[in-house]
Amino acid sequence: MPKAYVLINVELGTEEEVLRELRSDSRIKEAYFVYGPYDLIAKIEIESIDRIKEIVNFKIRKLNNVRSTQTMTVVEGI
């Protein structure tokens, strides 16, 4: 099953709100605060790469206060 990790930057002070929204979506398997250049990280594990793109483009990036995302798709079999 395809997996991806999405690194997310949000508006200052909205981390908890965005994290709650991410965790309320059953398609997002895990979501956490992180330290470093990004504010949050979300793990998506779903039936196809196309569904990952759909979740990132039409759910995560459309959330209020999300400034930017960086998606890393997991490559297995190496």
Tens digits of residue pLDDT in 43-58: 999 999 999 999 999 9
Task: Please give the residue range of the domain that contains residue 27.
Answer: 3-67
Low-confidence ranges of the chain (pLDDT < 70): 77-78
Tokens of 75: 């490559």
Opening angle at CA 46, ends 61 and 2, nearest 5: 100
Alpha-carbon span 63 to 61, nearest angstrom:
6
CB 73, CB 3: distance < 8 Å: yes
**How many structural domains are present in the chain?**
1
- The proportion of the chain whose per-residue pLDDT surpasses 70, expressed as a percent, equals 97
As a whole number, the mean pLDDT across the chain is 95
Residue 47, domain member (yes or no): yes
Q: How far is CA 47 from CA 2, 4, 6, 8, 73, in A?
A: 6, 11, 17, 22, 13
Q: What is the CATH number of the domain that holds 38?
A: 3.30.70.920
Residue 77 lies in a domain: no
